[in-house]
Amino acid sequence: MNKTVNQKAWFFVIPVFVLVAFNAIIPLMTVVNYAFQETFGNNVFMWEGTRWFKQIMLSERFHASLGRQFLFTFIILFIQIPLGIAIALTMPKEGIGVPVCLVLMSMPLLIPWNVVGAMWNIFALPDIGFLGHSLNALGFDYNFTQQIGDAWFTTILMDVWHWTSLVVLLSYAGLRSIQPAYYQAAEIDGASRWAVFTKIELPKMKKVLTIAILLRFMDSFMIYTEPFVLTGGGPGNATAFLSIDLVKMALGQFDLGPAAAMSLIYFFIVLLVCWVFYTLMMRNEEKS
């Protein structure tokens, strides 16, 4: 068969190209622009090559905030994913309980980030906050504004409260999509509850859990507003995660070059981790 060649079809791509250029490529390119140059204002730029990248890669401050970031993300994934699945498993499958649970579960997701931060800040204040005051009354020496452990504990608790629901809702959707025949087949085989979970429910939830982990990874790795309002990155730099550190560098110290280089490195880390994770999870799914 002879295919006709008509390159004019490319014109159809132009609107999309223009749109993407304005909302993604151009802003990103300004960051790239800063990352390779030095500026003293007045639109005067000097070429610096890879100097800022080298500086950031060798900076102990960057290593420290990157380390904190990975630790934080790892901890919240470790808590939220199993907890989310566990809650989804115990949720009702029919009746009035279903909408009630779904609405209750969605509530934390609907609260704006800075409100969550402010809420938890007040909630956890050692003198007047319900949580802080209660813990101190029970004999714990709790003060999240001064003690590193307490600051981490509060930040993690806040994130678990805010985001576990997302994992619950996704897992619940995954569980509901399993046909009842699977459970019957397992019942006929005499499979235990644990076997049903590991041999049917988990494999069937694989795709939806992959999405849950990816979303939670991206969101928590880029977390800014809630810890900024809750702890402001403190005490000291104890909860200064990557975004908080980046804003300090860019807007606090006005080190635009290094901050731009850091943004790009940050961006590539997120991209790389997501890509590797997704590829690994979906390795065997394409064949079917």
Partner 1 sequence: MSLELKNVEKKVGLDTHIYRTNLKLQKNTINILLGSTLAGKTTLMQIMAGLDKPTSGEIWFNNENVTGMKVQKRNVSMVYQQFINYPNFTVYDNIASPLKITGVSSDETKLRVGKVAELLKLSGMLNKKPNELSGGQQQRTALARALVKDSDLILLDEPLANLDFKLREELREELPKLFENRDCIVVYATTEPSEALLLGGNTATLQEGKIIQYGKTLDTYNKPNSLVSAQVFSDPPMNIAKIKKSGDQCSFLQNNIQWKTKINIKDGEYKVGIRPHNITTYKEGNNTLEIKGKVLISEISGSESLIHFTNGNLNWVSLSNGVFQKNVGDEMNLYMNTDEFVYFDQNERLVSNG
DSSP three-state, residue 50 = coil
Say whether 223 sits in a helix, a strand or coil: coil
Can you say whether residue 232 is alpha, beta or left, with left for phi > 0 and alpha for psi between -120 and 50 degrees?
left
Distance CA 225, CA 109 (A): 14
Q: Considering beta carbons, is residue 6 or 284 the nearer one to partner 1?
A: 284
Mask 187-206, x = binds partner 1 (CB under 8 A)?
A: xxxxx-------xx--xx--
Q: Can residue 92 be called a binding residue for partner 1 (CB under 8 A)?
A: no
| Per CB under 8 A, 284 contacts partner 1 | yes
Cα(121)–Cα(144) distance, integer angstroms = 9
Rounded Cα distance between 9 and 13, Å, is: 8
Give the residue, chosen from 42, 179, 194, 283, that forms a contact with partner 1 under the rule CB under 8 A. Answer: 179
What single letter denotes the amino acid at residue 60? E
Q: Is 55 exposed, middle or buried (0-12, 13-18, 19+ CB in 10 A)?
A: middle
Between CA 158 and CA 177 the distance in angstroms is 30
Residue in 10, 47, 181, 279 binding partner 1, rule: CB under 8 A: 181
* Binding window for partner 1 (CB under 8 A); candidates: 2-10, 165-173, 185-193, 242-250: 185-193
Piece of the chain touching partner 1 by CB under 8 A; list 56-64, 122-130, 186-194, 266-274: 186-194
- CB of residue 96 to partner 1, shortest distance in Å: 15
Please, which residue, 174 or 258, has the CB nearer to partner 1?
A: 174
Which of these, 174, 208, 187, lies nearest to 88 by C-alpha position?
174
Residue with tokens 């060649």: 5
Q: Per-residue x/- mask for partner 1, residues 134 to 173, rule CB under 8 A?
A: ----------------------------------------
Interface with partner 1, residue 207, by CB under 8 A = no
Residues in the interface with partner 1 (CB under 8 A) total 18
Q: What are phi and psi of 161, to 5 degrees?
A: -60, -40
Q: Indicate whether 58 belongs to the interface with partner 1 (CB under 8 A).
A: no
Q: Which residues bind partner 1 (CB under 8 A)?
A: 179, 181-182, 184-185, 187-191, 199-200, 203-204, 284-285, 287-288
